Amino acid sequence: MMNSDASPVSRYSFGYVDGTDESYFVYDVKDEDVVTRFLVDVTGQIKFLTWVAAAGEWVLFWTEPKAQCDVYALCGAFGVCAEDALASCACLRGFRERRPEEWRQGDRTGGCVRNAGLNCESSARSRSQGAAPEKNGKSADRFYTMPDVRLPSDAQGAAAASVRDCELACLGNCSCTAYSYNGSCWLWYGDLVNLQDTTGAGTGDGSISIRLSASEFSTTGTSKKLIIGLAVSGFVAAITVVVLVSPMLAVKLSSRSRAAQGCRVQERSSAPPLAAV
């Protein structure tokens, strides 16, 4: 039996076999009284546990990856992982859980789906015209920018001299779901996985702009402008009516006044003279 003061690592020997047809990891326990097990649980991490009889429980001895957010696709498509958050996974703005029941049980690998579909046709036009409303009432897709993130690794480079050029490059391709510009333009196509929120940690790569339907953005400002516009239009219309009607009303009232005066004069002239007393 190993001395209790010995290093825990000294109780095991590890090896890696890289064969022609297969590769695998092996380990051996030097102390026959030590009970161990390897497992991969819902977190996606490989965990090496040792049974501690005195405590009556399994104790975590080693895990890989050490950081929860380093597990590949832990939060699924369009999910974002935050190492310090109470719930490590969350859906990006404009998305919701694909399988809510599994999500509540701790398995977030199903990822997230959009609340509203993209308007690809309008967005493609906006590449040269700007993101203006279409005649059919739909607007070009827009972008929500997340700062302080660790970017996914499957980006593709694109020629762009500015942030706007990079944005238009993404809008011009219906499969483009996000872009990032830091002097160079990087585009992501299809599902977005392995995005990490590193706010406050200082380990991020920069910012990323997520493509969303225009309906995901507030229209409060537009509504206010519409209301103000209608109010101003109504006021102008009312003033116009007053200006046009006032002369006509004045003429009509003047005519009535002259007619009334004529009647009074006629009545006085037709009255019989008073008899002398």
The domain limits of the chain are 12-64, 79-216
pLDDT at 247: 56
DSSP annotation of 85? S
Q: How far is CA 232 from the centre of its chain?
A: 35
Mean pLDDT of the chain: 78
Close Cβ partners of 274 (under 8 Å, ≥ 6 residues apart): none
Reported confidence tier of residue 262, pLDDT bands at 50, 70, 90: low
Q: For 17-31, what is each residue's pLDDT tens digit?
A: 998 999 988 888 888
Stated pTM of the model:
0.66
Helices marked H in the chain: 100-104, 120-129, 163-171, 220-270
Region 205-218 average pLDDT: 92
pLDDT at 221: 46
Reported confidence tier of residue 265, pLDDT bands at 50, 70, 90: very low
In 3D, which of 78, 84, 83 has the Cα closest to residue 103? 78
Residue 114 pairs in a beta bridge with 95
